[in-house]
Chains A and B, each alone.
Chain A
Amino acid sequence: MHHASNTMAQNSTKIPFWRDTRVLQVLFQILFLLGVFLLAGILYANMLKGLDNLGLNLKLDFLRNEAGFDVSDTVIEYDPSNTYLKAFIVGVLNTLRVSLLGILCATVLGLFIGISRLSTNWLVRNIAATYIEIFRNIPLLLQILFWYTVFGSLPAARESINLFDTVFINNRSIYFPSLQQTAGISSWVGYFYAAAILSVISIFVLALIFHRKQVERMEEGDDIGYFTHVTRAAKWSIVPVFFIVAIIGWFLAPESPFVLGRPELQRFNVEGGIRFSAGFISLLIALSVYTSAFIAEVVRSGIQAVSKGQREAARAVGLSTGQTLRLIILPQAVPIIIPPLTSQYLNLAKNSSLATAAGYDDLFRIGSTILTQAGKAIPVFAMVMANYLIISLTTSAAMNWYNRWVNRFNR
């Protein structure tokens, strides 16, 4: 006993610090970080000196200068007399637009093809497999150029392809109908607010009513979560109250608050509606199709990771194939799918910088133009990189949050 406590005392006090792993670990980390900071400092000082010699600086005031170049496809209004900063923002929004739409299309396509890949139907299964192998194995740049060429071979603007007077396609653009506000909007907004207020009141009243039942069920040991009555109240308020008032308001307003603005073929061009450039559409198709092939494989492996016994148990209680997939397989596959799906989303967002190939003015392309015109390589590059970083980190954070939400019941 005495001997044992003696050795313990030796362990905790008598190790010289140069042999103590705890001290050494911390020490090496501090030394490493000091080294990194020192190196970065030397490089930064060297860069400033070099820039100074060339008569350049890192100031961002050039962003207030006039851009002077045009951007063909924008989300917000822009003209060449706007500043570099505005042009840069236009680029950021264009990148966000193609990335978000691309992620949406790629997910829907990928889910569909991944499930088809596992079909018991020979034809469906093999079409899905062929799709995956073709689009996964051709370089993305080639695919962007392919779709851009396909677009280029369509008729010119004055002979635009007319689909039911609703959608017009030519070699430069594609036009869809757009929602347009009318004078009726102001009175409808009144009903809209009334609907919102009424449904909030209804949520409170219903929540109070549901609360008593909630307490009873929880006393019976029902683990239904404390806020179930609030979500139930919201469901029963928002759906009927809000929508009914908003719809009644729509018809009571002197004029329908929104109308569908259809594009029309004029003498030389299409007018009205909402326009997307050929560059945007070919980039969107290429990104969606390319990424969907990877997502399909992610979905397939996620589904296959759910044990065969789950499918058999579901079939044995009489669930149909569709119900088995929807209620048993997918809920268990989704938590497995999310982490690799996130990296596919990040790839898509970063791959959108190949937009130049289709002449679409994304963040990278506009950044390059600013860089060439203003001659501010380092600040512009830093801004472009920071923006991609922000987009990627936001995507990651959102997906991590979703992952935790999906896994909330996996204890």
Chain B
Amino acid sequence: MTENENTSNDPIIICEDVHKWFDDFHVLKGITTTFKKGEKAVICGPSGSGKSTFIRTINRLEEHQRGTIIVDGIELTNDLRNINLIRQEVGMVFQQFNLFPHLSNLKNITLGPIRVRKLSKRKAEEEALALLERMGIADQAYKYPSEISGGQQQRVAIARALAMEPKIMLFDEPTSALDPEMISEVLDVMRELAHSGMTMLVVTHEMGFAREVADRVMFFDEGVVVEEAVPADFFDNPQHERTKLFISQTLQH
């Protein structure tokens, strides 16, 4: 499947000169970019470069202080109604999974659909079981998060985000907290999701995944986008010194 089949030209996320400060620390220094419907963007960069903060501003887990972010036609402001609408359109997967430990895997997934989408319990459970089937872990539905492996937990977390039927999925270093042998099972699920046409913004150090799946790789450093390009150009022909250094350091091991 090529990028043309499921990437349209309609923009779904528009960022215009986005700035963010943590007290005196200037984390994002004017990010301007547009993501198209169905686009897969991989965001990489050294730690502290603002890459996680950037995707967290897109569902307003972090507030930006200057500039505009428009997600699917809704501008992110302090309007509570807009924030709630955005959160239903944007799913998020965290580095530490953040599953709810007091709820079974199935209930982790059905909570949002029942409480926010107002589905019946039966309908929500049907959908959740179908999602777990898709993630390859249908047999773990009635266990608790603490009873399954990290790779399985992250797949439950992906199912939980998908259960809200989002238009956009944000992944914040989804494989960084996993043991090496579990990384591929999570990447497989993300690859399948990418082929289904989902718009995805992925912060990751998995360069193999980026090369294979991404339409665009963005390199963040010190709060700015230093370089962005299609994976082939980005990895084989980087323009900036910092990008070259980062790629050589990342690919060394």
Contact = CB atoms under 8 A, between A and B. Distances in A.
Given A310-B98, A310-B100, A327-B111, A318 B142 contact: no
A223 B100 contact: no
B174 to A, nearest CB: 13
Interface in A108-125: none
B163 to A, nearest CB: 8
Interface residues on B, range: 20 to 34
Contacts of B160: 313, 317
B17 interface: no
B235 interface: no
A319 B103 CA distance: 15
B225 interface: no
Contact of B164 (A222, A318, A327, A331): A318
Given A223-B142, A319-B116, A313 B111 contact: no
A221 interface: yes
Contacts of B88: 318
Contacts, number: 72
Interface stretch (B27-35, B89-97, B198-206, B212-220): B89-97
A290 B240 CA distance: 64
Interface string A400-411: 000000000111
Nearest to B157: A313
A52 interface: no
Given A312-B98, A316-B59, 11 more contacts: A223-B143, A310-B98, A310-B100, A312-B61, A313-B92, A317-B87, A317-B161, A318-B88, A318-B112, A410-B102, A411-B147
B99 A313 contact: yes
Interface in A302-347: 307, 309-310, 312-320, 323, 327-328, 331-332
A316 B101 contact: no
Most buried by A among B91, B92, B102, B164: B102
B91 A316 contact: yes
B139 interface: yes
Given A309-B94, A317-B161, A318-B84, A409 B102 contact: yes
A316 B161 contact: yes
Given A316-B161, A318-B164, A222 B142 contact: yes
Nearest to A331: B102
B115 A319 contact: yes
B199 to A, nearest CB: 16
Interface in B61-108: 61, 84, 87-88, 90-92, 94, 96, 98-102, 104
A223 B107 CA distance: 12
A318 B117 CA distance: 9
Interface in B112-153: 112, 115-116, 139, 141-144, 146-147
A409 B144 contact: yes
Contacts of A327: 111, 115
Given A221-B142, A318-B116, A313 B98 contact: yes
Given A316-B61, A316-B161, A309 B112 contact: no
Contacts of B112: 317-319
Contacts of B102: 331-332, 409-410
Nearest to B61: A312
Interface in B190-249: none
Contact of A315 (B87, B146, B161): B87
A309 B142 CA distance: 23
A21 to B, nearest CB: 37
A260 B20 CA distance: 62
B96 A328 contact: no
Contacts of B144: 409, 411
Contacts of A409: 102, 144
Nearest to A406: B102
Nearest to B109: A317
A320 B115 CA distance: 9
Interface in A78-102: none
A192 B99 CA distance: 46
Nearest to B106: A222
Nearest to A309: B98
Nearest to A312: B61
B150 to A, nearest CB: 15
Contacts of B99: 313
A312 B98 CA distance: 8
B170 to A, nearest CB: 8
Contacts of A307: 98
A122 to B, nearest CB: 16
Please name the 7 residue pairs, one residue from A and one from B, whose CB atoms are nearest each other, closest first: A317-B112, A313-B98, A309-B98, A318-B116, A316-B92, A223-B142, A318-B87
